[in-house]
Amino acid sequence: VMLVGQKAAPTIQTFCRSFLFKIFGLLAGLKIVNVRDPAVAKLVMSSSNQKGYTLENRIATPAWLPVISLESVDGDLWWMMKKNFKEFQKHLPSTSTLQTIVTTNVKKMVEEHQQARKKITAETFILFTIEVFLTYLFGDKWNKTDADIIVAASWEWRKEIAMRGQGNKQLKEKCVHHVVSLITNSALFPLFGEKWEEPQYFSLVLQPYLISPAINMVDIFVAMKHLLKGQKDPLLKGEGVREFMKVALRDMHPFPILERYVDKDIVLNGKVIIEAHTQVIMFASEIFEKSTIFGVGERACAGADLAKTFIVSAWSVLQESISDGVFCPEEGHKYSGRNNDLETNFS
């Protein structure tokens, strides 16, 4: 694996990553470049909309089945799903609506747990996340059984995507059935009609708005709580929350690898820095720029605005319940893509 850029200081993790990807590249017959310079990373992500042939293609795509992850696929399927996703987004409520739902629900959750002297564990937080997005998508046209099934299935997807074991296929399929039923009985149904039963359509709801938030949000909030210990002013507000969120995402994002396949030379200042037909990998913790945490270009995170709204709104309330021992998302947390569940690995 060739390194491009030396912005981040080499660590044991850097060497382990490079070694593992070198072995992977040799076995797969791929030329792999690890980009570490933020300027080069931005250029690569802006120049290519292909994820390529590494982890997203070989691990994430099959792990997501029967869902098709918009974040992982390439080619004509990605173009079609991206087009439909943009059309779908036009029929959803505003981010201010999501902010209201998050704030209302998180305050209620904290009050209930404080009164009962109970902890908000990983399971509790994931259920809260799913209930927020179900309300955002379907209003009050869902029930607790729907939420519980999605939460249970999210653990199975999380486990398989993070390479911690085989996910339960029956539970995943049951989750899909419930979500398709919710769509069928909602105002969203006329948009694509009977096509909602097809993977490339129901996945537009399941992946970005339900399963990905269920997987990622708890990891992110565990990271934020961990990093809060080093803050001089533990209670953050407004822009302070946003900046703190970016640091947590950069340093401890659950799935921290950005991938692109470049089919044309990447040129910077008149010099070819990455040759055509190269698989590029970039680690969020090495790029060292907050502006790239959700990616750049056409393959930037599709749900970035909603994710930021959710995180800032929820953290603004939850951070105040850490000192009294109520907010404990690290308890019961498992199958992290990093070591956020305290099971350290090379990522």
| 125-130-133-135 Cα dihedral, nearest 10 degrees | -100
345 in any annotated domain: no
Q: How confident is the model at residue 169 (pLDDT cuts 50, 70, 90)?
A: very high
| CATH of residue 296 | 1.10.630.10
Q: In what order do the strands lie in the sheet with 32-35?
A: 2-4, 32-35, 278-283, 257-262
Q: Which position has the higher pLDDT, 237 or 327?
A: 327
In a domain, 296, yes or no: yes
Q: Which residues pair with 272 in a beta bridge?
A: 267
Residue 188 lies in a domain: yes
With cut-offs at 50, 70 and 90, classify the pLDDT of residue 91. Answer: very high
Domain tally, the chain: 1
Q: In the prediction, which pLDDT does 147 show?
A: 98
Find which of 3-12, 30-39, 261-270 is predicted with most confidence, using mean pLDDT. 261-270
Rounded to 5°, the CA angle 130-131-132 comes to 90
Mean pLDDT of 158-181: 95
pLDDT of residue 176: 99
The model's pLDDT over 245-302, given as tens digits with 9 standing for 90+, comes to: 877 776 666 556 889 999 999 999 899 999 999 999 888 767 655 555 666 778 777 6
338 belongs to a structural domain: no
Q: What's the mean pLDDT when you consider all of the chain?
A: 86
| Beta carbons within 10 angstroms of residue 146's beta carbon | 19
Note whether residue 203 is domain-resident. yes
Per-residue model confidence (pLDDT) at position 53: 87
Residues ≥6 apart with Cβ < 8 Å to 5:
35, 36, 37, 38, 39, 40, 41
H/E element holding 88? Answer: helix 75-89
Q: How far apart are CA 71 and CA 78, in angstroms?
A: 9
Assigned domain for 108 exists: yes
Pairing, β 32-35 against β 271-274: unpaired
| Amino acid present at 273 | I
d(CA 162, CA 63) in angstroms, rounded, equals 9
Domain housing 82: 2-321
Which backbone phi and psi does 262 adopt, to 5 degrees? -105, 125
Residue 328 lies in a domain: no
Cα–Cα distance between 129 and 122 in angstroms, integer?
10
* 301 φ, ψ (degrees, to nearest 5): -50, 120
22 pLDDT above the threshold of 80: no
Question: Which of 23-27, 84-88, 225-229, 247-251 has the highest mean predicted lDDT (pLDDT)?
Answer: 84-88
Is residue 20's pLDDT more than 90? no
pLDDT at residue 93 above 50? yes
Instruction: Answer yes or no: is 162 within a domain.
Output: yes
The CA–CA distances, whole Å, from 305 to 44, 124, 242, 296, 336 equal 22, 24, 12, 13, 23
Q: Which of 174-188, 226-240, 294-308, 309-323 has the highest mean pLDDT?
A: 174-188
Per-residue pLDDT reduced to its tens digit, 74-88: 999 999 999 999 999
Residue 330 φ/ψ region, left for φ over 0, alpha for ψ in the -120 to 50 degree band, beta for the rest: alpha
